[in-house]
Structure 1
């Protein structure tokens, strides 16, 4: 009997050990996401479990993968083939990677692999609708109309100043990469010069500060500047995940600042060894503002979504419609103050996410404001929140003034001014790819019964626009 009990105890201990080893095994990582000939392929470093979610009202299809970390930066892939317009991916939970397919209509992609799998394949096809059989129509005789002599009219040409920027897909080119030193010969600044404006996305990997430059080339070469200082070892360029990256190899992590160059396109990166780096922006005691009259500013207004990208759906309409109407009212109110205003879209059209911040950078705007409406599955969620680029103090203060003004004007509860931290470099493309002070405003919740009714009211929308103008006047800080 004693031997039997000992054997049972041994079996239990062995089973517990095996379970603990299995649970401690690292989760796989996402290696690549690519689209080819109607199929989306997600490559993993090992077999993983996953599930799919179909959001019919938003025309989105999601694949949630149990993965420990994503093997690439959070980003997106523009497809625009058939029903698939875009694929986005990011680490949205500590042990989960979400792949989002943005579609032109509510169709469900065909899943060709079953979990667990190390390669997930989805077939994205549009199913042809069966048309009803109707008898052919008999053509009616067309009466003969006497030919009218054409009347000459003066030709009119409508020029859209934003069209060249929106349609432009020109890549930037790195013109120069150099290390500048102080009078004692110590490196104090790295300068990156480009031929046209381009976003810059910083992130840390160990002791290397990586500066991603989307849609930028370096002439097909890789530069290496050996510094050999006790602080900075070297500066170099390389290609990573199809993008150009400038890497600064330090001896340890430093506090750094990134500032646009004044006399040319590009950036200057400076650092300090005395102050430890912060993971998020801590607002300074004095607001960072343009310090000039509002009428001297250039402001880019971005009505979120558009066309097939409808955004959230409320009881009284789509988010894209409310965003555009509020943006138009804000434009009119600002233009009445003498402000130069640029819209990323004037009508119900789709503008790719990476193009929207490019419009602001091309115009050398003083501010970029993206207008959105919020929504959740819970009808109790309510209030206003404003997101800002987390590594840009000027963006924080723009968001703060807009947040305060919107709350004072509408009386809605506040949800806070928040750093865009849904991914390591931020998850909102219009913010993370932007180099001008930028903020994304969620004016209220379409999923909340009362706020949805307010958002549909033209008088409330006008009040929102006037309140935002008041906030921008306080943010500008200049005397009239």
Structure 2
């Protein structure tokens, strides 16, 4: 009796292992067009061996072990996956898989809905570089963003009570005229004293399919002696001397909310906040070199033409730059908190000089990229 019961126990354990062990790492073939790949059952989730798919579909791949980023490429198209994330960058769009991308026994495995959501649409869904990038090299449409507006005055000068929103709009309008004289179409995020949310400004640029985005601002600092001209591009870190870093330390303060410089903390794709920051950085990585180059052209022309004190080209995590899908910069034309520069910015002739120099910098960049690429 004891022997028979022990046999039953052993048999039961065997059946139990037969059922549950495959759930940890079993596999069975999955028909995929004219070939099969194994489905891996990992903790009750179905995964596919990504490298097998890449080999069979002739998709080239690269893995950044430090960043945990896996890049797929085929026929000029590209998609990016982040380790332990279900989000996949398909061109400039983000798609979500059922399960996060992960490593299993040193090999990359992907959620089994990858074939229907990503792979079967790879050629059509991923924006080929050959079709997307020429807009950077054939600049026809520019979005000008006059910072602040309406209920948001921006910074206010201490001596003349000059409002940043008025300076920004006047310079942007003057830039528009200069650029249109050169045959460039200009989109304005605002043409009057209207409040436009930051995400609304980005949406105007993206939906208008602008080739460049330039946001015009006037700087401010608690140190009234601070002066100069500077240009920002999108970066996940800010320079110590930038007001982006100074203001970001107190995100809930009125100055931060008015300046519109707080970091974007929302998760638009249902993923973690920290992961979205990395995902956005991946999206914008291809725009960053162009943004930096554009910023340098503008700094040089403004320095040469009107002799402004150039503080340099800096990285900052501005939301208004972060959510645009094209090369984007934010220009600080001077410190409105500095009495001397506030006086300059109050002068319409000086604002015209600024506008002409900014337009000249944009045109210089346009000529450079169109003649180089």
For the 8 Å contact 1:388–1:439, the answer to whether it is kept is yes
User: How many angstroms apart in 2 are the aligned matches of 1:229 and 1:363?
Assistant: 46
**Structure 1 or 2: larger strand share?**
1
Give the length in aligned residue pairs: 238
Out of 362, 369, 387, the position equivalent to 2:207 is: 362
Once the two structures are superposed, residues 11-61 of structure 1 have per-residue CA deviations (whole angstroms, 9 ceiling, x without a partner) of xxxxxxxxxxxxxxxxxxxxxxxxxxxxxxxxxxxxxxxxxxxxxxxxxxx
1:475 partnered with 2:362: no
CA shift for structure 1 position 362:
1.2
Structure 1 length as normaliser, TM-score?
0.43
For the 8 Å contact 2:88–2:95, the answer to whether it is kept is no
Question: Which residues of 2 match residues 67-466 of structure 1 at below 5 A?
Answer: 181=54, 187-188=61-62, 189-190=71-72, 208=84, 222=98, 230=106, 232-234=108-110, 290-292=136-138, 296-314=139-157, 315-316=159-160, 317-390=162-235, 391=285, 392-420=288-316, 426=317, 428-466=318-356
CA shift for structure 1 position 405:
1.6
For the 8 Å contact 1:186–1:229, the answer to whether it is kept is no
CA shift for structure 1 position 365:
1.2
For the 8 Å contact 2:171–2:351, the answer to whether it is kept is yes
User: How many angstroms apart in 1 are the aligned matches of 2:359 and 2:86?
Assistant: 37
Judged with a 3 Å threshold, the aligned counterparts in structure 2 of structure 1 residues 332 and 387 are, in CA distance, closer, same or farther, namely: same
Structure 2 length as normaliser, TM-score?
0.55
CA shift for structure 1 position 377:
1.4
User: How many angstroms apart in 2 are the aligned matches of 1:327 and 1:418?
Assistant: 21
3-state SS of the aligned residue for 1:181? Answer: helix
Once the two structures are superposed, residues 109-135 of structure 1 have per-residue CA deviations (whole angstroms, 9 ceiling, x without a partner) of xxxxxxxxxxxxxxxxxxxxxxxxxxx
User: How many angstroms apart in 1 are the aligned matches of 2:109 and 2:210?
Assistant: 35
For the 8 Å contact 2:88–2:94, the answer to whether it is kept is no
- Provide the aligned C-alpha RMSD in A: 3.8
For the 8 Å contact 2:230–2:332, the answer to whether it is kept is yes
**Structure 1 or 2: larger helix share?**
2
User: How many angstroms apart in 1 are the aligned matches of 2:225 and 2:112?
Assistant: 50
Q: Which has the higher contact order (CA 8 A, sep 6+)?
A: 2
Once the two structures are superposed, residues 151-203 of structure 1 have per-residue CA deviations (whole angstroms, 9 ceiling, x without a partner) of xxxxxxxxxxxxxxxxxxxxxxxxxxx99836666645458xxxxxxxxxx99
In structure 1, list runs of 5 or more residues that go unmatched: 1-177, 192-201, 238-245, 247-260, 269-287, 421-425
User: How many angstroms apart in 2 are the aligned matches of 1:339 and 1:464?
Assistant: 18
